[in-house]
Amino acid sequence: MLKSRLKYNEAKYFYEQMESNFKERKTEEFKHCINAFLSSARSVTFVLQKEFRKYKGFDEWYELQKEKKFKDEIIIKFVTLRNISLKEEPINPKYVFGVLFEKGVKIEQDDDFIIETDASSYVRHQYKPGKLTPKKVIEENIVNLNKPNIFLNCEFQEIPGVNLFDICKYYLSILDDLVTECEIINRDTSHFF
């Protein structure tokens, strides 16, 4: 097994531990796994470069991959998060509590704002006691569901409004694609071009 695949598997393991600890509400363990995941996931590309730099055309191939896959603003912020976690302080997630409301249901804490949607739609709303939610925000966040429910989600404070798990899964998928491509090239040939 390639060293880069082993490093990827390590990152995937920490991601799975993050999910498990989040579901079990193990807050401290969850935070530790976030920081371990950030470090491990970011290291996959370093191991990949070390492992394949010896192959003809790898450097050019890798530069093309960086242009295609790592120019996304979210990915750039992900790298920044890893740097903060590794060099400055542990990353602490932001927990987002919300309720999916059916038309006519009032928001708690004495708010008398009623969500205006059709009966088949529900609204995802970040709970803010004592504050009204502008209608524009409500309209932008309508989702169709079978029934209303309460949700607890998590975000990186440095990337507000984006689900922490979605970002991590997205980053893992990019890494998996890179490693898989290198595995295929390693098996079939000894050069990238």
Domain assignment present for residue 140? The answer is yes
Domain assignment present for residue 193? The answer is no
Domain assignment present for residue 10? The answer is yes
- Considering the domain architecture, whether residues 80 and 99 belong to the same structural domain is answered as no
pTM (2 decimals)? 0.72
Range of the domain at 19: 3-92+160-188
Taking only the tens of pLDDT, the chain with its 193 residues reads 889 999 999 999 999 999 999 888 888 999 999 999 999 999 999 999 999 998 888 999 999 999 888 888 888 888 899 999 999 999 988 876 655 554 444 444 444 333 333 333 334 444 344 444 554 454 445 444 344 445 567 888 888 878 889 889 999 999 999 999 998 887 777 666 5
- Considering the domain architecture, whether residues 149 and 65 belong to the same structural domain is answered as no
- Considering the domain architecture, whether residues 141 and 166 belong to the same structural domain is answered as no
Burial class, 31, CB count within 10 angstroms (exposed 0-12 / middle 13-18 / buried 19+): middle
- Considering the domain architecture, whether residues 19 and 75 belong to the same structural domain is answered as yes
Domain assignment present for residue 73? The answer is yes
- Considering the domain architecture, whether residues 107 and 176 belong to the same structural domain is answered as no
- Considering the domain architecture, whether residues 178 and 139 belong to the same structural domain is answered as no
- Considering the domain architecture, whether residues 32 and 119 belong to the same structural domain is answered as no
Q: How many structural domains is the chain composed of?
A: 2
- Considering the domain architecture, whether residues 87 and 136 belong to the same structural domain is answered as no
